[in-house]
Structure 1
């Protein structure tokens, strides 16, 4: 199968795309706006240590958390029952600094797990787009690696046996386009079209995501504050980078341009 190898900056979707990019040896930016990447970024701002783990939250995930002395990050509904941080970014607090958490999610954590053999894995979203792009440009030059941005998308609830579960989400696509627009080097046609989608929508990105299927789903479940938090652009300098199975913030002393 032909791929995007001739280009320095690429775009791939979902877990399969993340694995493809990892096998190429690319630096990978995983984008899951609502809300894995946004939650990891917010947790990193507070100094929390996030260990991504493939879904679902089961005895294996809980045993892993116990072995490393970490707490589980629950789904939003489960967190209301068990307490503690959830996949909602607003549940992380300054008091979480230095604490370890294991985070499973159907999309972002799954894509991160698929990308673990990559040259580097970064969690990117709207909130830290410029900081992530600046770090990726620097590391790409140092490591001599291409960059692949991976919008994670969502999952269909009821696919048939013959159907793919991936449901592309505009929230991840637009954030990927913003990050790609700031990356150095040649861009594949797939990456160029993604940048074009962002540039066309840049004046109302927040409104589009707010009213998207993913945004409406969260709002109707009572998590409008999560959506409002996640659709803000360039509010964070955090750059969560996967090292030894955990995300570490590499952006504390970096600067990012603020959007108008």
Structure 2
């Protein structure tokens, strides 16, 4: 079976990678730049409480069960003046308010890996902060670290096709975090980190022109792309506890 087991720091793609890492007992960092990870990091920066939920369940019913508000789609929520999957929709007004956030990639990967001993949310916005938290926790637990770029999903897939579309922005976000992680890195992690280091001088321009970015910009969400492309602007490190994200305080 495919394995990066000799190494402390690993890189795995998507839902399957998240499940495998959780089953191994690794410290997991979920990376979905446009936009789940960036939204969670931004929301917690402003004090909001986020419950992740997969896209195929009854999110509205789950929101009632946890006494939270279900986050609507970008366009619908924007018309109502409510926070959305768009990270720039969160501000100080949302402090201490509870929200259920679904997404096809980041929330789904989080749900699959929710039994991990430690699951962090990483983005370009908090790359150095989340890596520092994972480094500290690894020293305490001796667990390995797996960074999970979530990728996107191809639409209209046909039978026997893999629907995962590796996303450049998630790969670069994972590489940024890996560049700050301590410990021997697998070849997969080394190459991912190298991609980030090569791209760093023009990071925002590359993400701006990526396929995922073009899709968002065509829908009128250019501000999301600009926000999510910023490197190390937040110290917020979300960790999953009791099915919602809290700010990591050095303890499990």
Determine if the TM-score, normalized by the shorter chain, exceeds 0.5: yes
Equivalent-residue separation in structure 1 for 2:80 and 2:159 (angstroms): 34
Q: Work out whether 1:47 is the aligned partner of 2:43.
A: no
Q: 1:131·1:251 contact (CA, 8 Å) conserved in 2?
A: no
Q: Secondary structure at the match of 1:30?
A: strand
Query: Which residue matches 1:5?
Result: 5
Equivalent-residue separation in structure 2 for 1:80 and 1:229 (angstroms): 17
Q: 1:22 to 1:13 in 2, by over 3 A?
A: same
Equivalent-residue separation in structure 2 for 1:75 and 1:16 (angstroms): 26
Q: 1:39·1:87 contact (CA, 8 Å) conserved in 2?
A: yes
Equivalent-residue separation in structure 2 for 1:163 and 1:78 (angstroms): 32
Q: Secondary structure at the match of 1:148?
A: strand
Equivalent-residue separation in structure 2 for 1:168 and 1:31 (angstroms): 12
Query: Which residue matches 2:224?
Result: 226
Segments of 4+ in structure 1 off by > 2 A? 80-83
Q: Secondary structure at the match of 1:98?
A: coil
Query: Which residue matches 1:78?
Result: 76
Equivalent-residue separation in structure 2 for 1:97 and 1:47 (angstroms): 4
Equivalent-residue separation in structure 1 for 2:82 and 2:44 (angstroms): 16
Query: Which residue matches 2:140?
Result: 142
Q: 1:119·1:145 contact (CA, 8 Å) conserved in 2?
A: no
Equivalent-residue separation in structure 2 for 1:222 and 1:198 (angstroms): 27
Q: Secondary structure at the match of 1:184?
A: coil
Q: How many residues align?
A: 250
Q: Work out whether 1:35 is the aligned partner of 2:35.
A: yes
Q: Report the Cα offset of residue 251 of structure 1.
A: 6.2
| TM-score normalised over the length of structure 2 | 0.96
Correspondences of 1:74-223 after superposition (within 5 Å): 74-223=72-221
Q: Secondary structure at the match of 2:191?
A: helix
Deviation by residue 1:142-192 (Cα, 9 ceiling, x = unmatched)? 111100000000111111111111100010000100100111111011001
Q: Report the Cα offset of residue 90 of structure 1.
A: 1.1
* RMSD after superposition: 1.2
| TM-score normalised over the length of structure 1 | 0.94
Equivalent-residue separation in structure 1 for 2:63 and 2:229 (angstroms): 30
